[in-house]
């Protein structure tokens, strides 16, 4: 069932009051103003029109800021609601594929094996001594004839090879010197080989007598 607005209801009522006001105006003009009947009728008609227009305009006019039912517009239209979506909400609503792509580098890094400091690394071996002449590795304290032969079998012929070893190479040699495991570290081969490279074999042998290396 359709609902009739208050402006539609008030407009006829306003004209009714205007008619009453016009009649009263005509009577007052005729009897109190002592004017002729035609003039009194014109006066009543004037009052009727004035009251009818005024009552029609203001009686049925809706309240300021609202509709005919007094309902105010609180800005709930589509344009009255700014987008308050925060950057965090946007990020949380991103597709799973995008978030997975962002997390992928960290996951790959976590899956990469981390080499421990003690990991064994096989030293670079030579197929034969440079220039056909090997260094006298027995100058290093802890290397005898049998140990020197074993070093040759592993492709180690020169002091600078030993001097260039890191922890990984030392660990590998300690594990692979058959019958002499751990000797590289215990006898400090790397330190001795580096000193030989700095001061020469003769000076090294002099210092070796007092373990000054």
Query: Which residue from 13, 21, 14, 10 is spatially nearest to 45, judged by alpha carbons?
Result: 21
| pLDDT tens string 126-168 | 999 999 999 999 999 999 999 999 999 999 999 999 999 999 9
Which residues neighbour 140 within 8 Å (Cβ) at sequence distance 6 or greater?
159, 162, 187, 189, 192, 193, 196
Indicate the domain borders of the chain. 6-58, 130-208
Mean pLDDT for 187-198 is 96
**How much is the pLDDT for 109?**
45
Average pLDDT, the chain: 74
pLDDT of residue 81: 46
CB neighbour list of residue 159: distance below 8 Å, 6 or more residues apart? 135, 137, 139, 140, 193, 196, 197
pTM for the whole structure: 0.46
Q: What is d(CA 174, CA 184) in angstroms, rounded to the nearest whole number?
A: 6
Q: Residue 160 phi/psi, 5° resolution?
A: -70, -25
Q: Give 17 or 63, the one with higher predicted confidence.
A: 17
8 A C-beta contact, residue 26 and residue 19: no
pLDDT digits (tens, 9 = 90+) for 95-124: 555 454 454 544 544 444 444 555 899 999
Query: What are the tens digits of pLDDT across the range 35-84?
Result: 677 776 777 777 777 766 666 665 554 544 544 444 444 444 444 444 44
Residue 194 has pLDDT above 80, yes or no: yes
- Please report the sign of the dihedral spanned by the C-alpha atoms of residue 118, residue 120, residue 124, residue 129: positive
């Amino acid at each position: 069932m359709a609902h009739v607005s208050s402006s539609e209801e008030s407009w006829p009522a306003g004209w009714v009051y205007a008619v009453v006001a016009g009649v009263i105006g005509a009577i007052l003009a005729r009897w109190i103003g002592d004017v002729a009947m035609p003039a009194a009728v014109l006066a009543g008609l004037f009052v009727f029109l004035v009251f009818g227009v005024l009552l029609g305009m203001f009686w049925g006019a809706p309240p300021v800021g609202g509709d005919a039912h007094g309902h105010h517009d609180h800005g709930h239209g589509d344009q009255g609601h700014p987008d308050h979506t925060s950057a965090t909400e946007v990020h949380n609503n991103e597709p799973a594929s995008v978030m997975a792509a962002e997390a992928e580098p960290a996951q790959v890094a976590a899956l990469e094996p981390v080499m421990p400091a003690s990991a064994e690394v096989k030293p670079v071996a030579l197929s034969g001594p440079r220039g056909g002449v090997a260094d006298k590795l027995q100058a290093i304290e802890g290397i005898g004839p049998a140990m020197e032969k074993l070093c040759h079998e592993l492709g180690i012929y020169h002091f600078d090879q030993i001097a260039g070893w890191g922890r990984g190479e030392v660990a590998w040699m300690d594990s692979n010197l058959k019958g002499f495991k751990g000797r590289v570290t215990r006898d400090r081969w790397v330190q001795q080989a580096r000193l030989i490279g700095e001061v020469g074999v003769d000076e090294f042998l002099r210092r070796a007598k007092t373990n000054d290396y």
